[in-house]
Amino acid sequence: MSSPFSINGGACVAMRGKNCVAIACDLRLGLQSLTVSNNFPKIFQYSPTAFLGLTGLATDVSTVSELFRYKVNMYRLREERDIAPKTFAQLVSSSLYERRFGPWFVSPVVAGIDGKSGAPFICGFDSIGCIDYAADFIVSGTASDQLFGTCEGLWEPDLEPDDLFETISQALLNAVDRDALSGWGAHVYIIEKDKVTKRLLKGRQD
């Protein structure tokens, strides 16, 4: 319980669909069993179609999200283009490994669509930047065990955006209901080639 990864709680999941991806997180910020806030989103946008989910120690979620905001803004100014999800994933990896012997206590998830080819892309990382590429889904956070279960049960290949939204929402909601440290509402992003839909799920408030 005193692992830095499970002090504040939180959950995040990304899924691949047909020409689309989805990423979702819960909104809880806690101190052990005590809930402090139900308005602490863990998904951040870094280009029109590149998103990063961060679970783990809340202070590092904030610090790391701000660090990447800085790095991606500098990239955009220097290169006069938006960062591609695959490139962003490599940036996340190298930035985390830079802290190999004093890591940020976060478990990142990247989801996005390549601006040029339109190919969906998702991947996850450990806290020192090892990339976990996946063709189906990526889970992270204190509800990751539960998310593995719900995702294994609900996900299927080539889901259309609307079906993917239903699948990821049910996977997240039912996983966080089985985790005491996650929940209290959710953000769900459905990312298509030139459209991003963000939905707020109320979820159980108890």
Partner 1 sequence: MADRYSFSLTTFSPSGKLVQIEYALNAVNQGVTSLGIKAANGIVLATEKKSSTPLIDPASSSKISLITPNIGMVYSGMGPDYRVLVDKARKVSHTGYKRIYNEYPPTRILVQDVARVMQEATQSGGVRPYGVSLLIAGYDEGIEPEQQNAKPAGAEETAVDDSAEDRKKTTGKTGGILKGGPSLYQVDPSGSYFPWKATAIGKSATSAKTFLEKRYTEGLELEDAVHIALLTLKETIEGEMNGETVEIGIVGPPANHLLGYEGVEGAQGPRFRKLSPQEIEDYLTNL
Partner 2 sequence: MEVLLGITGKDFCIVAASKAAMRGASILKANDDKTRTLNKNTLMAFSGEPGDTVQFAEYIQANIQLYSMRNSSDLSPFEVSSFVRAELAKSLRSRSPYTVNLLLGGYDSIKQKPELYWIDYLASSAPVPYAAHGYAQYYCLSILDKHHHPDISFEQGMKILRMCTDELKRRLPIDFKGVNVKIIDKDGIREEPYSDDKQVYAP
Nearer to partner 1, 35 or 87 (CB): 87
Region of residue 3 (left: phi > 0; alpha: psi -120 to 50; beta: else): beta
Binding mask of the shown chain, residues 25 to 64, with x at each position contacting partner 2 by CB under 8 A: ----x-x--x-xx-xx----------------xxx--xx-
Does 7 participate in binding partner 2 (rule CB under 8 A)?
Answer: yes
Residue 37 binds which one of partner 2, partner 1, none, with CB within 5 to 8 A depending on kind? partner 2
* Alpha-carbon separation of residue 74 from 79, 83, 84, 157 (angstroms): 8, 10, 14, 36
In 3D, which of 84, 91, 90 has the Cα closest to residue 119?
A: 84
Nearer to partner 2, 128 or 154 (CB): 128
The alpha carbon of residue 39 and the mean position of all alpha carbons in its chain are separated, in whole angstroms, by 16
- The CA-CA-CA angle for residues 5, 7, 11, to 5°, reads 60
Distance CA(104)–CA(101), nearest Å, equals 10
Task: For the CB of residue 182, give the shortest distance to partner 2 in the complex, in Å.
Answer: 15
Does 95 participate in binding partner 2 (rule CB under 8 A)?
Answer: no
Residue 34 binds which one of partner 2, partner 1, none, with CB within 5 to 8 A depending on kind? partner 2
Query: Contact positions toward partner 2, by CB under 8 A?
Result: 7-8, 29, 31, 34, 36-37, 39-40, 57-59, 62-63, 102
